[in-house]
Structure 1
Amino acid sequence: MTSSTPGAGGGPGPIAAAAAVDRRRFLKLAGGAAMATGAVAWAGGWLNPEPARSAPGDPDLYWGGTDGWIYLPPTPAIAPFHPDSLAPAPLTTYIFGFRNLTGMTAQQRNNQKYKAQHSAPLFWVPQFDPDNPRDFTVTLTNLGLQLRPDLFDAHTLHWHGFRNVIPFFDGEPSGSISVPAGREFTYVYRPRDPGTYMYHCHVEDVEHVHMGMTGLVFVRPLQDGQNIGGFTRFLYNDGDGSTGFDREYAMFLSEVWAEAHWADAHIQLPEWSDYRADFALLNGRVYPDTIAPNGSIDPFNPVTDANGDLIAPDGHPELKFQPNSSLVTCKAGERVALRFSNLGFRESAMTTTGIPLTVVGRDATPMRGRDGTDTSYVTETINIGPGESYDVLFTAPDHSGGTGPDTYLLYNRSYARSTNLAPDGYGGQTTEIHVYPAGSTAIGAQAYPNDWGM
């Protein structure tokens, strides 16, 4: 199986064979480590007109890999790297990233080149049910890099922490398929372990991860929909409702080293051993933008304009390519699930003020011993290393009175990472928890994760 030939299926058109080897793939071929990015591409035939797909039928989701620009506060200014002089106003920072192309026409998909978002689209899948077997599929097309046409980097989707994955669909390019520019490939998953994960491109993974080809994904347990302990949605198959929740919010942690992003935009080569993160991001934004409204974030019902372009969050045109809000809204007494994933390169310490957190899962594994002993614990700070995920619950505290919400902070207790050393003291991995009265009609039920219910 190889990446499918574009054209008839509505994907991007074919690319010239003369441009088939970029500087990175050439090095891999020379070193004999090009099973996926080189040998498969050549043997499967970038010149082969016969399409080949890894799974029949329409995919559940359709992703595109490309480049683009996002907005980060112009202060602190880091001359000459931030804001980038090439950035189209009001944007500031060059990225690589993914876009949700589900349901688009061929022309709309092609229009999304140079319109990557950060963080990559959030998505979730049901746990594989052996009594009602159904695979979950995601097609990835490589739209190419508009600003850097000299780079014909392949892309993959690597589901970090996914257990027992078939190597063919793993996304690690030395042992599985990677997708050259102008081609597409469909990944097939049978997710058997509930919990919170993350995904990223595994080609040139240090660069592509840091440049923004990263996102959060989670698996819903089979017991979802049953009424157990008064809940119908759960983090795990607990059997007793201990991981049930009323509302859920994804919290994806990432970083931006301004010099590296500038270097890729200006055809320079970053020296990764000099790495120093200038901005710590939460769901692709920094505070107070983290509490700005959502854009279109439901992956299965994406909302775009006639060209397929993202629609900016209300009142925030600068956040057009950063659609995920981190604001937590809930009512007093409700149980709230927070799904944390960290694909930055540094540890984070996420802390709440005045609300105890119960850790019920880590790295998509429930906090229970082999004999069923409950090993969950209560804390105010979650220390999240690179590549780790945590599943956390809290019960919204009583409301202080009145009609408006009580506000609590959720932030990285590392001062530099909660503020990004901005002169006004704001920025970084900080957001707010808004607790409304128990009987409030200001918020309704969630339609999807991170939905405010308003």
Structure 2
Amino acid sequence: MTSAEDNTTVPAATGRSGPGPMSRRRFLSLAGAAVAVVGTTNWGGRVLTPEAAYGADGTPDLYLAGTDGWIHLPATPAIAPYHPDVLAPSDPPGLTTYIFGFRNVTGMTASQRLAQKNRAQHSAPLFWVKQFDPAHPVDFTVQLTNLGLALRPDLFDAHSLHWHGFRNVIPFFDGEPSGSVSVPAGREFTYVYRPRDPGTYMYHCHVEDVEHVHMGMTGLVFVRPLQDGNTALYRSGRYLYNDGDGSTGLDREFAMFLSEVWAEAHWADAHIQLPEWSDYRADFSLLNGRVYPETILPNGSIDPFHPVHAADGDLIAPAGHPELRYQPHSSLVTCNAGERVALRFANLGFREQAMTLTGIRMRVVGRDATPMRGRNGGDTSYETETLNIGPGESYDVLFTAPPHQGPGAFDTYYLYNRNYTRSDNLAPGGFGGQATQVRVYASGVAPQAYPNDWGI
């Protein structure tokens, strides 16, 4: 394959069967089973064949790297000897917990990319794509490189990118390593996608998936509908689905990614030990990679297509919070009274969660990237104050911001996990888990530049 930076030839991923470069013959042999399926499937009159995908080399739309790293969780309550981990580096201060994860290395030089080893983030970079339009066919490509693990060079774990729930025509790009390929350390691979179905999804590494998912190789991705841009149906021209009537129109959108940390498992990977997974428990429940009240602190650099980073490629911490350098996603929701706000929920923890929004009713308009419509097209959306979200599920919900009441600049509503053990980790002051705030202003919140942008 071709490096987007210098147009030099680099080896492609080869999976587990051998270290040699991927020739066209080898590619076709790996993807042969997919050819029979694709050859009988008509997707808008344009089929993605393995040969066409092989020719998709060039500058990727997004470039991700898999590696390890450290994040911050509250030092109290201490869980001796597992948390805080004594191996955690002191720079930046406040790091406590070892993770595996992804990093956005789009636009970096080769030396900058290599310097991101041991600088993974959680949750993984949020990104979004446009629905594939057969009339104007454009493929979306994600290049994945495996930088290896700095703390555990004894592990030769490959990585992959599995788009959970994505209806993929060609299994070669599914990311499940027994049916496609995985990326060994020091190699790279380009995934080619034609997203046909709008909605909210998640992605994760599918190699040793119980371990790699729990260690943090997880993120949220969504597909924007072709209906976007139509202001006749809804004033903003932005939608969750191709509804045809504006019912899923939105003014703002916020990703809400749910994950968990079992401190012993993270400690075990750092200290060359094996946890007993049947003893699993969630010591920390995270919302966008943080716990409350850190969930309402500012964003770092989270726009995947216009990334901002330090000269060496490292993430820049939110102002005043160096401990959150590798947890850049805020969960604070800001809006003006009367605006329609979309919340995109996805759960890649191992337990069911119950997310409640106090004082505001939410309308569920999509589940698992499927609009709430019956077989006859009838509306099956519903209102609720609590979402029960199972592992691997996603929900698209809308709410209309109520009138501003005052007397302050904004009114505060709480979005939190109704299961008390998931919203309070017993740290001083309580309420230290999956919780955030919705702040409703009378006016003055500027339009979003990207999802989760506060606009203030």
**Structure 2 length normalisation: TM-score?**
0.89
Give the match for residue 123 of structure 2: 119
Q: How does 1:338-417 map to 2 (within 5 A)?
A: 338-402=343-407, 404-417=409-422
Could you tell me which of 15, 33, 36 is aligned with 1:37?
15
Contact preservation (8 Å) 1:5, 1:184: no
Give the match for residue 248 of structure 1: 253
Contact preservation (8 Å) 2:71, 2:327: yes
1:167 to 1:374, Cα distance in 2 relative to 1, 3 A: same
Q: How does 1:75-114 map to 2 (within 5 A)?
A: 75-89=76-90, 90-114=94-118
Contact preservation (8 Å) 1:348, 1:385: yes
Give the match for residue 304 of structure 2: 299
Matched, 1:336 2:341: yes
Alpha-carbon separation, structure 2, partners of 1:428 and 1:338: 18
Contact preservation (8 Å) 2:337, 2:403: yes
Matched, 1:209 2:213: yes
Shift of 1:229: 3.1
Contact preservation (8 Å) 2:365, 2:371: yes
Contact preservation (8 Å) 1:198, 1:216: yes
Unaligned runs of 5+ in 1: 15-34
Shift of 1:6: 11
Contact preservation (8 Å) 1:294, 1:325: yes
Runs of 4+ in structure 1 deviating by more than 2 angstroms, as ranges, are 3-11, 40-45, 52-55, 421-424
What is the SS of the residue equivalent to 1:37?
coil
CA offset digits 1:185-242 (Å, max 9, x no partner): 0000000000000000000000000000000000000010111132310000001100
Matched, 1:150 2:154: yes
RMSD: 2.1
Could you tell me which of 169, 178, 201 is aligned with 2:182?
178
Give the match for residue 453 of structure 2: 451
CA offset digits 1:348-402 (Å, max 9, x no partner): 0000110000000000000001111100000000000000000000000111134
1:53 to 1:313, Cα distance in 2 relative to 1, 3 A: farther
Contact preservation (8 Å) 1:82, 1:93: yes
What is the SS of the residue equivalent to 1:263?
helix
Give the match for residue 326 of structure 2: 321
Matched, 1:276 2:252: no
Give the match for residue 58 of structure 1: 59
Matched, 1:197 2:219: no
The one-letter code sitting in structure 2 at the alignment partner of 1:206 is V
Alpha-carbon separation, structure 1, partners of 2:266 and 2:20: 31
Alpha-carbon separation, structure 1, partners of 2:8 and 2:323: 30
Contact preservation (8 Å) 1:4, 1:185: no
Shift of 1:113: 0.5
Alpha-carbon separation, structure 2, partners of 1:318 and 1:431: 19
Alpha-carbon separation, structure 2, partners of 1:40 and 1:376: 50
1:149 to 1:10, Cα distance in 2 relative to 1, 3 A: farther
Contact preservation (8 Å) 2:5, 2:109: no
The one-letter code sitting in structure 2 at the alignment partner of 1:410 is L
What is the SS of the residue equivalent to 1:39?
coil
Alpha-carbon separation, structure 2, partners of 1:96 and 1:292: 23
Give the match for residue 23 of structure 1: none
Alpha-carbon separation, structure 2, partners of 1:453 and 1:239: 28
Contact preservation (8 Å) 1:54, 1:186: no
Contact preservation (8 Å) 2:2, 2:58: no
Give the match for residue 29 of structure 1: none
1:234 to 1:5, Cα distance in 2 relative to 1, 3 A: closer
Contact preservation (8 Å) 2:14, 2:21: no
CA offset digits 1:312-351 (Å, max 9, x no partner): 0011110000000000000110000000000000000000
Shift of 1:102: 0.4
Contact preservation (8 Å) 1:6, 1:184: no
The one-letter code sitting in structure 1 at the alignment partner of 2:15 is T
Contact preservation (8 Å) 2:4, 2:59: no
Unaligned runs of 5+ in 2: 27-52
Shift of 1:37: 3.5
The one-letter code sitting in structure 2 at the alignment partner of 1:198 is M
Alpha-carbon separation, structure 2, partners of 1:394 and 1:178: 40
Alpha-carbon separation, structure 1, partners of 2:7 and 2:275: 37
Q: How does 1:69-80 map to 2 (within 5 A)?
A: 69-80=70-81
Shift of 1:39: 1.4
Give the match for residue 159 of structure 1: 163
Alpha-carbon separation, structure 2, partners of 1:369 and 1:7: 48
Shift of 1:44: 4.0
Matched, 1:141 2:145: yes
Alpha-carbon separation, structure 1, partners of 2:145 and 2:223: 23
Contact preservation (8 Å) 2:16, 2:182: no
What is the SS of the residue equivalent to 1:159?
strand
Contact preservation (8 Å) 2:338, 2:400: yes
The one-letter code sitting in structure 2 at the alignment partner of 1:445 is P
Give the match for residue 133 of structure 2: 129
What is the SS of the residue equivalent to 1:38?
coil
The one-letter code sitting in structure 2 at the alignment partner of 1:224 is D
What is the SS of the residue equivalent to 2:163?
strand
Matched, 1:433 2:434: no
1:54 to 1:409, Cα distance in 2 relative to 1, 3 A: farther
Contact preservation (8 Å) 2:2, 2:57: no
Identical residues among aligned pairs (%) = 76
What is the SS of the residue equivalent to 2:191?
strand
1:267 to 1:10, Cα distance in 2 relative to 1, 3 A: farther
Alpha-carbon separation, structure 2, partners of 1:282 and 1:130: 36
CA offset digits 1:133-158 (Å, max 9, x no partner): 00000000000000000001100000
**Structure 1 length normalisation: TM-score?**
0.90
Shift of 1:55: 2.2
